[in-house]
Structure 1
Amino acid sequence: MKTLAKWSVEDYHQMIDAGILRDRNVELLTGEIVEMSPETPIHYYTAEEGTEYLQTLLANQAHVRFNGPITLSDSEPEPDIAIVRLPKSMYKDHHPYAEDIFWIIEVAKSSLKKDLELKLSIYAQAQIQEYWVLDLSQKQLIIFREPENNSYLTQQTLNQGNVNPLAFPNIEISVERLLN
Protein backbone atom coordinates (compact mmCIF):
# COMPACT_ATOMS: atom_id res chain seq x y z
CA MET A 1 0.00 0.00 0.00
CA LYS A 2 1.42 3.37 -0.97
CA THR A 3 0.90 6.51 1.06
CA LEU A 4 0.77 9.87 -0.65
CA ALA A 5 2.32 12.92 0.96
CA LYS A 6 -0.31 15.58 1.53
CA TRP A 7 0.63 19.20 0.93
CA SER A 8 -0.65 22.19 2.87
CA VAL A 9 -1.75 25.40 1.20
CA GLU A 10 1.41 26.98 2.66
CA ASP A 11 3.60 24.22 1.13
CA TYR A 12 1.85 24.76 -2.21
CA HIS A 13 2.48 28.53 -2.09
CA GLN A 14 6.16 27.91 -1.27
CA MET A 15 6.45 25.61 -4.30
CA ILE A 16 4.87 28.29 -6.48
CA ASP A 17 7.19 31.00 -5.07
CA ALA A 18 10.24 28.75 -5.61
CA GLY A 19 9.26 28.16 -9.25
CA ILE A 20 8.85 24.40 -8.77
CA LEU A 21 5.40 24.44 -10.40
CA ARG A 22 6.30 26.86 -13.18
CA ASP A 23 4.81 25.88 -16.54
CA ARG A 24 2.64 23.25 -14.82
CA ASN A 25 -1.15 23.52 -15.12
CA VAL A 26 -2.01 22.28 -11.62
CA GLU A 27 -4.21 23.03 -8.62
CA LEU A 28 -4.16 21.85 -5.01
CA LEU A 29 -7.15 19.61 -4.20
CA THR A 30 -7.49 18.05 -0.73
CA GLY A 31 -3.75 18.27 -0.19
CA GLU A 32 -2.80 16.75 -3.55
CA ILE A 33 -1.31 18.59 -6.51
CA VAL A 34 -3.53 17.65 -9.43
CA GLU A 35 -3.07 18.29 -13.15
CA MET A 36 -5.89 20.40 -14.58
CA SER A 37 -7.72 19.30 -17.71
CA PRO A 38 -6.71 21.23 -20.83
CA GLU A 39 -9.36 23.76 -21.82
CA THR A 40 -11.18 23.16 -25.08
CA PRO A 41 -12.24 26.22 -27.08
CA ILE A 42 -15.93 25.79 -26.07
CA HIS A 43 -14.97 25.48 -22.39
CA TYR A 44 -12.87 28.65 -22.45
CA TYR A 45 -15.48 30.55 -24.50
CA THR A 46 -18.35 29.55 -22.18
CA ALA A 47 -16.41 30.48 -19.03
CA GLU A 48 -15.25 33.81 -20.46
CA GLU A 49 -18.70 34.76 -21.80
CA GLY A 50 -20.32 33.73 -18.50
CA THR A 51 -17.84 35.88 -16.60
CA GLU A 52 -18.56 38.93 -18.77
CA TYR A 53 -22.34 38.40 -18.48
CA LEU A 54 -22.18 38.11 -14.68
CA GLN A 55 -19.84 41.13 -14.42
CA THR A 56 -22.55 43.19 -16.14
CA LEU A 57 -25.35 41.86 -13.91
CA LEU A 58 -23.37 42.17 -10.66
CA ALA A 59 -21.56 45.46 -11.29
CA ASN A 60 -20.78 47.22 -7.98
CA GLN A 61 -22.26 44.28 -6.01
CA ALA A 62 -19.61 41.57 -6.40
CA HIS A 63 -16.31 40.84 -8.11
CA VAL A 64 -16.54 38.12 -10.78
CA ARG A 65 -13.22 36.25 -11.13
CA PHE A 66 -12.29 34.31 -14.26
CA ASN A 67 -10.03 31.22 -13.89
CA GLY A 68 -8.53 32.49 -10.64
CA PRO A 69 -7.48 30.51 -7.56
CA ILE A 70 -9.37 30.51 -4.28
CA THR A 71 -7.78 29.46 -0.99
CA LEU A 72 -9.57 26.88 1.18
CA SER A 73 -8.32 24.92 4.20
CA ASP A 74 -6.49 22.15 2.29
CA SER A 75 -7.17 23.11 -1.33
CA GLU A 76 -6.49 25.89 -3.78
CA PRO A 77 -8.72 25.10 -6.74
CA GLU A 78 -9.05 27.38 -9.74
CA PRO A 79 -12.77 27.53 -10.52
CA ASP A 80 -13.78 28.81 -13.93
CA ILE A 81 -15.86 31.57 -12.31
CA ALA A 82 -15.94 32.71 -8.69
CA ILE A 83 -18.30 35.42 -7.50
CA VAL A 84 -16.66 37.07 -4.49
CA ARG A 85 -17.04 40.02 -2.13
CA LEU A 86 -15.90 43.51 -2.94
CA PRO A 87 -13.60 45.37 -2.83
CA LYS A 88 -11.48 43.66 -5.44
CA SER A 89 -8.39 45.19 -3.82
CA MET A 90 -8.77 42.71 -0.91
CA TYR A 91 -7.24 40.09 -3.20
CA LYS A 92 -3.90 41.84 -3.81
CA ASP A 93 -2.28 39.91 -0.95
CA HIS A 94 -4.29 36.67 -0.92
CA HIS A 95 -6.78 34.79 -3.03
CA PRO A 96 -10.41 34.79 -1.86
CA TYR A 97 -11.13 32.59 1.16
CA ALA A 98 -14.33 30.58 1.62
CA GLU A 99 -15.96 33.41 3.59
CA ASP A 100 -15.35 35.80 0.67
CA ILE A 101 -17.18 33.61 -1.86
CA PHE A 102 -20.85 34.08 -2.81
CA TRP A 103 -20.85 31.18 -5.25
CA ILE A 104 -18.68 29.21 -7.65
CA ILE A 105 -19.28 28.08 -11.23
CA GLU A 106 -17.37 25.30 -12.96
CA VAL A 107 -17.71 24.73 -16.71
CA ALA A 108 -17.52 21.03 -17.44
CA LYS A 109 -17.19 18.70 -20.36
CA SER A 110 -14.17 16.44 -19.90
CA SER A 111 -13.93 17.48 -16.22
CA LEU A 112 -17.57 16.68 -15.34
CA LYS A 113 -16.81 13.71 -13.08
CA LYS A 114 -14.17 15.69 -11.12
CA ASP A 115 -16.50 18.71 -10.84
CA LEU A 116 -19.49 16.65 -9.64
CA GLU A 117 -17.50 14.56 -7.16
CA LEU A 118 -14.15 15.88 -5.91
CA LYS A 119 -14.75 19.61 -6.37
CA LEU A 120 -18.33 19.36 -5.10
CA SER A 121 -17.03 17.73 -1.93
CA ILE A 122 -14.29 20.36 -1.50
CA TYR A 123 -16.71 23.28 -1.96
CA ALA A 124 -19.35 21.75 0.34
CA GLN A 125 -16.75 21.08 3.05
CA ALA A 126 -15.67 24.73 2.77
CA GLN A 127 -19.33 25.74 3.33
CA ILE A 128 -19.63 27.53 -0.01
CA GLN A 129 -23.36 28.14 -0.05
CA GLU A 130 -23.92 27.71 -3.76
CA TYR A 131 -22.09 25.77 -6.45
CA TRP A 132 -23.10 25.67 -10.13
CA VAL A 133 -21.85 23.29 -12.81
CA LEU A 134 -22.39 24.22 -16.46
CA ASP A 135 -22.56 20.78 -18.10
CA LEU A 136 -21.65 21.42 -21.74
CA SER A 137 -22.33 17.81 -22.81
CA GLN A 138 -25.96 17.87 -21.69
CA LYS A 139 -26.43 21.65 -22.14
CA GLN A 140 -27.66 22.05 -18.58
CA LEU A 141 -26.96 23.98 -15.41
CA ILE A 142 -26.73 21.93 -12.22
CA ILE A 143 -27.22 24.00 -9.06
CA PHE A 144 -26.12 22.76 -5.65
CA ARG A 145 -27.20 24.53 -2.44
CA GLU A 146 -27.19 23.95 1.32
CA PRO A 147 -23.77 22.45 2.04
CA GLU A 148 -23.67 19.78 4.72
CA ASN A 149 -20.69 17.55 5.52
CA ASN A 150 -19.05 16.90 2.14
CA SER A 151 -22.13 17.31 -0.04
CA TYR A 152 -25.09 19.56 -0.75
CA LEU A 153 -28.64 18.90 0.42
CA THR A 154 -30.36 20.33 -2.65
CA GLN A 155 -29.68 19.89 -6.34
CA GLN A 156 -31.58 21.41 -9.24
CA THR A 157 -30.99 20.90 -12.97
CA LEU A 158 -32.11 23.49 -15.53
CA ASN A 159 -31.67 23.85 -19.27
CA GLN A 160 -33.74 27.01 -19.68
CA GLY A 161 -35.34 29.83 -17.75
CA ASN A 162 -33.87 32.11 -15.13
CA VAL A 163 -32.19 31.47 -11.79
CA ASN A 164 -31.74 33.78 -8.82
CA PRO A 165 -28.52 33.21 -6.85
CA LEU A 166 -28.95 32.95 -3.08
CA ALA A 167 -26.64 35.90 -2.40
CA PHE A 168 -28.45 38.17 -4.89
CA PRO A 169 -32.12 37.12 -4.97
CA ASN A 170 -33.05 40.25 -6.94
CA ILE A 171 -30.76 39.28 -9.85
CA GLU A 172 -32.18 37.03 -12.59
CA ILE A 173 -29.61 35.04 -14.54
CA SER A 174 -30.56 33.48 -17.87
CA VAL A 175 -29.64 29.79 -18.02
CA GLU A 176 -29.63 29.87 -21.83
CA ARG A 177 -27.23 32.83 -21.82
CA LEU A 178 -24.81 30.97 -19.54
CA LEU A 179 -24.92 27.85 -21.72
CA ASN A 180 -24.50 29.60 -25.09
Structure 2
Amino acid sequence: MKTLAKWSVSDYHQMVTAGILANRQVELLAGEIIEKVPETPLHYNVAKRDSRYLETLLQGKADVRFNGPITLADSEPEPDIAIVRLPESAYDTRHPYAEDIYWVVEVARTSLQKDLTIKAAIYAAAEIPEYWVLDLKGQQLRVLRDPVGDKYETETVYESGVLKPLAFPEISVSISKLLS
Protein backbone atom coordinates (compact mmCIF):
# COMPACT_ATOMS: atom_id res chain seq x y z
CA MET A 1 0.00 0.00 0.00
CA LYS A 2 1.27 3.46 -0.88
CA THR A 3 1.20 6.24 1.67
CA LEU A 4 0.50 9.72 0.45
CA ALA A 5 2.64 12.45 1.97
CA LYS A 6 0.51 15.20 3.46
CA TRP A 7 1.77 18.78 3.27
CA SER A 8 1.32 21.39 5.95
CA VAL A 9 0.35 24.96 5.18
CA SER A 10 3.90 25.94 6.18
CA ASP A 11 5.36 23.39 3.71
CA TYR A 12 3.08 24.75 1.00
CA HIS A 13 4.13 28.36 1.71
CA GLN A 14 7.80 27.32 1.53
CA MET A 15 7.19 25.68 -1.87
CA VAL A 16 5.44 28.82 -3.13
CA THR A 17 8.25 31.07 -1.84
CA ALA A 18 10.92 28.81 -3.37
CA GLY A 19 9.17 28.93 -6.75
CA ILE A 20 8.56 25.18 -6.85
CA LEU A 21 4.91 25.74 -7.72
CA ALA A 22 5.51 28.66 -10.10
CA ASN A 23 3.35 28.55 -13.21
CA ARG A 24 1.18 25.82 -11.69
CA GLN A 25 -2.49 26.38 -10.92
CA VAL A 26 -2.76 24.54 -7.61
CA GLU A 27 -4.29 24.84 -4.16
CA LEU A 28 -3.68 22.98 -0.91
CA LEU A 29 -6.75 20.94 0.09
CA ALA A 30 -6.64 18.80 3.23
CA GLY A 31 -2.86 18.48 3.02
CA GLU A 32 -2.81 17.57 -0.69
CA ILE A 33 -1.60 19.83 -3.49
CA ILE A 34 -4.37 19.66 -6.06
CA GLU A 35 -4.26 21.00 -9.62
CA LYS A 36 -7.10 23.42 -10.24
CA VAL A 37 -9.41 22.86 -13.18
CA PRO A 38 -9.11 25.73 -15.67
CA GLU A 39 -12.02 28.16 -15.45
CA THR A 40 -14.42 28.58 -18.34
CA PRO A 41 -15.13 32.15 -19.44
CA LEU A 42 -18.67 31.89 -17.99
CA HIS A 43 -17.36 30.68 -14.61
CA TYR A 44 -14.85 33.53 -14.42
CA ASN A 45 -17.31 36.22 -15.49
CA VAL A 46 -20.05 35.09 -13.08
CA ALA A 47 -17.57 35.04 -10.18
CA LYS A 48 -16.22 38.46 -11.14
CA ARG A 49 -19.70 40.03 -11.55
CA ASP A 50 -20.87 38.49 -8.27
CA SER A 51 -17.84 39.76 -6.39
CA ARG A 52 -18.54 43.28 -7.69
CA TYR A 53 -22.22 42.96 -6.75
CA LEU A 54 -21.33 41.81 -3.22
CA GLU A 55 -18.75 44.61 -2.91
CA THR A 56 -21.52 47.11 -3.61
CA LEU A 57 -23.82 45.56 -0.99
CA LEU A 58 -21.08 45.20 1.64
CA GLN A 59 -19.18 48.45 1.15
CA GLY A 60 -17.71 49.55 4.47
CA LYS A 61 -18.87 46.32 6.17
CA ALA A 62 -16.55 43.62 4.76
CA ASP A 63 -13.76 42.98 2.30
CA VAL A 64 -14.87 40.98 -0.75
CA ARG A 65 -11.92 38.97 -2.09
CA PHE A 66 -12.00 37.60 -5.65
CA ASN A 67 -10.06 34.39 -6.47
CA GLY A 68 -7.71 34.83 -3.53
CA PRO A 69 -6.30 32.26 -1.10
CA ILE A 70 -7.51 31.77 2.45
CA THR A 71 -5.38 29.96 5.06
CA LEU A 72 -7.02 27.18 7.07
CA ALA A 73 -5.52 24.52 9.36
CA ASP A 74 -4.40 22.06 6.65
CA SER A 75 -5.63 23.80 3.50
CA GLU A 76 -5.13 26.92 1.47
CA PRO A 77 -8.03 26.90 -0.98
CA GLU A 78 -8.74 29.74 -3.37
CA PRO A 79 -12.49 30.26 -3.29
CA ASP A 80 -14.03 32.26 -6.10
CA ILE A 81 -15.22 34.80 -3.52
CA ALA A 82 -14.46 35.19 0.18
CA ILE A 83 -16.24 37.70 2.39
CA VAL A 84 -13.83 38.66 5.18
CA ARG A 85 -13.45 41.10 8.05
CA LEU A 86 -12.08 44.57 7.55
CA PRO A 87 -9.58 46.17 7.40
CA GLU A 88 -8.21 44.97 4.09
CA SER A 89 -4.72 45.93 5.29
CA ALA A 90 -4.87 43.06 7.81
CA TYR A 91 -4.08 40.79 4.83
CA ASP A 92 -0.94 42.59 3.69
CA THR A 93 1.27 39.99 5.39
CA ARG A 94 -1.03 36.95 5.44
CA HIS A 95 -4.14 35.53 3.83
CA PRO A 96 -7.40 35.54 5.81
CA TYR A 97 -7.72 32.84 8.46
CA ALA A 98 -10.94 30.99 9.28
CA GLU A 99 -11.79 33.44 12.07
CA ASP A 100 -11.61 36.32 9.56
CA ILE A 101 -14.15 34.79 7.19
CA TYR A 102 -17.88 35.54 7.18
CA TRP A 103 -18.60 33.22 4.25
CA VAL A 104 -17.15 31.84 1.04
CA VAL A 105 -18.66 31.40 -2.42
CA GLU A 106 -17.71 28.85 -5.06
CA VAL A 107 -19.03 29.06 -8.60
CA ALA A 108 -19.60 25.59 -10.03
CA ARG A 109 -19.98 24.67 -13.66
CA THR A 110 -17.84 21.54 -13.80
CA SER A 111 -16.75 21.39 -10.14
CA LEU A 112 -20.11 20.96 -8.35
CA GLN A 113 -19.31 17.53 -6.90
CA LYS A 114 -15.90 18.66 -5.57
CA ASP A 115 -17.39 21.88 -4.18
CA LEU A 116 -20.18 20.05 -2.34
CA THR A 117 -17.92 17.32 -0.92
CA ILE A 118 -14.21 18.12 -0.54
CA LYS A 119 -14.47 21.89 -0.23
CA ALA A 120 -17.62 21.75 1.92
CA ALA A 121 -15.84 19.40 4.35
CA ILE A 122 -12.79 21.71 4.52
CA TYR A 123 -14.88 24.84 5.07
CA ALA A 124 -17.11 23.14 7.67
CA ALA A 125 -14.09 21.77 9.57
CA ALA A 126 -12.72 25.33 9.66
CA GLU A 127 -16.06 26.43 11.15
CA ILE A 128 -16.76 28.91 8.37
CA PRO A 129 -20.37 29.70 9.27
CA GLU A 130 -21.75 29.93 5.77
CA TYR A 131 -20.81 28.48 2.37
CA TRP A 132 -22.54 29.32 -0.90
CA VAL A 133 -22.25 27.23 -4.07
CA LEU A 134 -23.57 28.75 -7.28
CA ASP A 135 -24.60 25.83 -9.50
CA LEU A 136 -24.49 27.34 -13.00
CA LYS A 137 -25.84 24.23 -14.76
CA GLY A 138 -28.77 23.80 -12.37
CA GLN A 139 -29.33 27.57 -12.01
CA GLN A 140 -29.45 27.19 -8.24
CA LEU A 141 -27.72 28.68 -5.22
CA ARG A 142 -26.96 26.13 -2.52
CA VAL A 143 -26.44 27.69 0.90
CA LEU A 144 -24.76 25.55 3.53
CA ARG A 145 -24.86 26.66 7.16
CA ASP A 146 -24.35 25.33 10.69
CA PRO A 147 -20.94 23.60 10.48
CA VAL A 148 -20.48 20.60 12.78
CA GLY A 149 -17.25 18.65 12.38
CA ASP A 150 -16.60 18.37 8.66
CA LYS A 151 -20.24 18.75 7.58
CA TYR A 152 -22.80 21.49 7.31
CA GLU A 153 -26.03 20.61 9.09
CA THR A 154 -28.26 22.81 6.93
CA GLU A 155 -28.44 23.06 3.14
CA THR A 156 -31.02 25.25 1.44
CA VAL A 157 -31.43 25.46 -2.33
CA TYR A 158 -32.61 28.71 -3.90
CA GLU A 159 -33.66 29.39 -7.47
CA SER A 160 -34.99 32.91 -6.89
CA GLY A 161 -35.82 35.41 -4.17
CA VAL A 162 -33.44 37.08 -1.75
CA LEU A 163 -30.99 35.78 0.79
CA LYS A 164 -29.91 37.43 4.01
CA PRO A 165 -26.33 36.48 4.99
CA LEU A 166 -25.89 35.37 8.60
CA ALA A 167 -23.24 38.03 9.27
CA PHE A 168 -25.28 40.86 7.72
CA PRO A 169 -29.00 40.17 8.09
CA GLU A 170 -29.76 43.75 7.06
CA ILE A 171 -28.43 42.99 3.54
CA SER A 172 -30.68 41.43 0.88
CA VAL A 173 -28.82 39.49 -1.82
CA SER A 174 -30.75 38.83 -5.04
CA ILE A 175 -30.48 35.16 -6.04
CA SER A 176 -31.34 35.91 -9.68
CA LYS A 177 -28.62 38.58 -9.82
CA LEU A 178 -26.05 36.07 -8.49
CA LEU A 179 -27.10 33.45 -11.05
CA SER A 180 -27.19 35.79 -14.06
Same fold (TM over 0.5): yes
Give, in whole Å, the separation in 1 of the partners of 2:49 and 2:159. 17
- Answering whether residue 177 of structure 2 is matched by residue 170 of structure 1, we say no
- Answering whether residue 113 of structure 2 is matched by residue 139 of structure 1, we say no
- SS of the aligned residue for 1:21 comes to coil
Q: Which runs of 5+ in 1 are unaligned?
A: none
- Answering whether residue 86 of structure 2 is matched by residue 86 of structure 1, we say yes
- SS of the aligned residue for 2:24 comes to coil
Q: Which letter does structure 2 place at the counterpart of 1:8? A: S
- SS of the aligned residue for 1:117 comes to helix
Q: Which runs of 5+ in 2 are unaligned?
A: none
**2:109 corresponds to which residue?**
109
Q: Which letter does structure 2 place at the counterpart of 1:80? A: D
TM-score by length of 1: 1.00
Q: Which letter does structure 2 place at the counterpart of 1:91? A: Y
**1:100 corresponds to which residue?**
100
- Answering whether residue 17 of structure 2 is matched by residue 17 of structure 1, we say yes
TM-score by length of 2: 1.00
- SS of the aligned residue for 2:64 comes to strand
Give, in whole Å, the separation in 1 of the partners of 2:101 and 2:73. 14
1:67-95 Cα shifts (integer Å, max 9, x gaps): 00000000000000000000000000000
Which stretches of structure 1, 4 residues or more, deviate above 4 A after TM superposition?
Answer: none
**2:32 corresponds to which residue?**
32
- SS of the aligned residue for 1:143 comes to strand
Give, in whole Å, the separation in 1 of the partners of 2:81 and 2:24. 20
**1:51 corresponds to which residue?**
51
- Answering whether residue 41 of structure 2 is matched by residue 41 of structure 1, we say yes
Give, in whole Å, the separation in 2 of the partners of 1:113 and 1:3. 25
Q: Which letter does structure 2 place at the counterpart of 1:126? A: A
Give, in whole Å, the separation in 2 of the partners of 1:89 and 1:80. 20
Pairwise CA RMSD of aligned residues?
0.3
Give, in whole Å, the separation in 2 of the partners of 1:146 and 1:109. 25
Task: Name the count of aligned residue pairs.
Answer: 180
Give, in whole Å, the separation in 1 of the partners of 2:139 and 2:46. 11
Give, in whole Å, the separation in 2 of the partners of 1:118 and 1:51. 23
- Alpha-carbon shift at residue 109 of structure 1 (Å): 1.1
